[in-house]
Structure 1
Amino acid sequence: MKNIPITCEKCFLDFQEALEELHEMVISVKGTEIDERNQKRIIRSFEITHELALKTMGEYFRKMGRKLPDGPRDTTVEAFNEDLIDDGKTWLDMIIERIKYGPLYPENPQKNLAQNVTQKYIRLFLNFERKMKGLME
């Protein structure tokens, strides 16, 4: 079976679809207490959106003829340096929070992560989408 090369444009379209789904979820829970079921849905959607954002950044660097950064932290730092994203510290916080959400930590940060997605991270994704849209045109 032949592998189809992934393009920056395709990654960006996938990111936009995931972001739209996440944004709809965030809007639907705005102003309410987020129950456990919705927390899980928001976090799952957030993780997909974040992965696709990182993949889009990496493919953008490849398209520019640059070496791909190693790992999510380096990709985030490089994207901040290239002005693809704003608020680099909060983007790095996303990575840390995703790690803490994993099975290595005994605490349950689910509620805190869902709140951060709805209050902070969604804005960063929307800003990234706006900047990438400008670069793709």
Structure 2
Amino acid sequence: MEELRWKQRFENYQKALSYLELALDKEDVDEVTRAGIIQFFEMTLELAWKTMKDLLNEEGFEVKSPRETIKQSLQYGMIEEGHLWLDALQKRNLMAHTYDQASAVEAEDLIRNEYYPLMLALQSYLENK
């Protein structure tokens, strides 16, 4: 049952990541596209940690919170750069309350250059699991 759960969650993660990729691939990034990038990032990050949690649970680890899940996933070898994952988690909470243009541009830059590559690496790891 647990194995099925993480695999189902992983399918949703892949879909969300593909939407994020589509938004990031847009040539002209206006305010609406930028808002979409931020929304897709938030959704993808949520699915990322929950997929990691489900897989860790299947492997016998008991994790509950996103921070705990990221730390255990780093120790397990599922992810690298745990500090960036934790930063993404913290920034996601701030992004949910970002309404000014400068903060949105900064968020887009972080997503594009720091967090999206982490999410691709996780996808690659999980595809080989």
TM-score by length of 1: 0.83
1:114 aligns with 2:108: yes
- List 4+ stretches of structure 1 deviating above 4 A: 105-108
1:27 aligns with 2:22: no
Q: How many residues in Structure 1 have an aligned counterpart in Structure 2? A: 127
Residues 1-137 of structure 1: matches in 2 within 5 Å?
7-29=5-27, 34-67=29-62, 69-103=63-97, 109-135=103-129
Q: Using the alignment, how far apart are the partners of 2:96 and 2:35 within structure 1?
A: 13
Deviation at 1:87, TM superposition (A): 1.1
Contact 2:53 2:64 in 1 (8 A): no
Give ranges in structure 1 of 5+ residues lacking alignment.
none
Please say which structure displays the higher CA radius of gyration.
1
Distance 1:20 1:102, change over 3 A: closer
Q: Using the alignment, how far apart are the partners of 1:102 and 1:44 within structure 2?
A: 8
Higher helix share: 2
Contact 1:100 1:109 in 2 (8 A): no
TM-score by length of 2: 0.87
